Amino acid sequence: MASSPVVSVIIPVCNVEKYLDQCLESICTQTLSELEILAIDDGSTDNSLAILEQWAVKDPRIRVISKTNEGYGATCNRGLNEARAPWVSIIEPDDWIDRDMYRAMIQFASSFDVTIDVVKTPWFDWYDWDNPRTAHRTLCTLAGRLPTSKWPFTLAEKPLLIEGHPSIWSALYNRVFLNSRDIRFIPYPGAGWADNPFLIESLAEARTIVYLDKAFYNYRCELPKKKVSKNSEAMTMPFDRWMTMLAILEKAGVANRPILEAHYLRGFNYADNAIREYGPDNLLVSKKIKQIFSLMNPEIVYWHPKLRDRRKRFYQKVTGSNQLLLPNPRRTQYLINESLFQFRNRGGLSGLKSHIKKFIDNR
């Protein structure tokens, strides 16, 4: 291992033998060599631990830690507690990164005159990755929507960072910042969506975030599900995490409207997804939707620029509100800006037509 690593790379591993070689190779061949690679096996029952140990023989920068199964959050916390480099990166073991990721991000962070808390980038979404003939990648929806930073910002200035996928892995975190704020993962069993609260807490607490609009991280999207899980935990977890994230924002004293709008949009997305997967008459889902809607400020909901009227009418139905839906100039301005974005960055006229059709279909 390098005597003075610049980045501590945390890899939480559990039964991912099929993907580990690609993940580890992408890390070990980085153009920035000053890495501390913490490969933490969370009680794997396949050959994951053996693969890690084989790689550790080849690359002394890799330190293998084997422990009993505790879940994703506890495993990441072990890595954060073991990390010694100024910067921390979390890489999921079924993904991989482009060779220049760490060098580019570190050079970018170093170009600012102040200490940076979080460096954030977009990523590549990989679809149909189990079939070489159909595997393909696209830029995530964040790409192109924020310009590369000329100066640091806070979450209140760029709340878009919490609207979509948690993507805690397409980022670098200042280790001193995390430790000084005591920012850690909630140790839920299993995967547990532990990345969601960590996303909110780290970005809400950060005072200097910078964004580099260049993708390096390759994320394997979930394959189409053959059968939707009907257990109660799967149904309620998104809503429970949403409420936990709201509590984190409240504890941090966040009352900023744009941040709450971003978080509310996530809640509506969870509601739509649950209805689509489990049906509109599922009693448990209906109960959870009513619960999160009751925690939302109605005034923010009704004047939210990114919520369609259909969603607002659904909110009215669930909460029993009879407030009149008035024309929203913020919604009009958002649609104009979104149309311009689709035209510039998503395929010219074809992208714009697709956006307009989607808007009409979902209104």
Of 72, 81, 2, 74, the closest CA to residue 37 belongs to 2
Cβ–Cβ < 8 Å for 309, 325: yes
Q: Would you say the pTM of this structure is higher than 0.85?
A: yes
Q: Within a domain: residue 225?
A: no
pLDDT computed for residue 2 by the predictor: 45
**54: containing domain:** 7-220
What is the rounded distance in angstroms from the CA atom of residue 99 to the CA atom of residue 103?
9
Q: What is the DSSP letter of 128?
A: S
pLDDT at 350 over 90: no
Q: Within a domain: residue 226?
A: no
26 and 145 both lie in a single domain: yes
What is the rounded distance in angstroms from the CA atom of residue 123 to the CA atom of residue 274?
25
Q: How many domains does the chain have?
A: 3
86 and 159 both lie in a single domain: yes
187 and 249 both lie in a single domain: no
Size of the chain, expressed as the number of residues it contains: 363
153 and 210 both lie in a single domain: yes
pLDDT at 12 over 60: yes
Q: What are φ and ψ of residue 63, in 5° steps?
A: -115, 120
Token digits for 62? 């890799």
What is the rounded distance in angstroms from the CA atom of residue 174 to the CA atom of residue 150?
19
pLDDT digits (tens, 9 = 90+) for 271-327: 999 999 999 999 999 999 999 999 999 999 999 999 999 999 999 999 999 888 888
Average pLDDT (132-137) is: 89
Chain center to CA of 152: 20
Within a 13 Å sphere around the CA of 230, how many CA atoms are in the beta-carbon half? 6
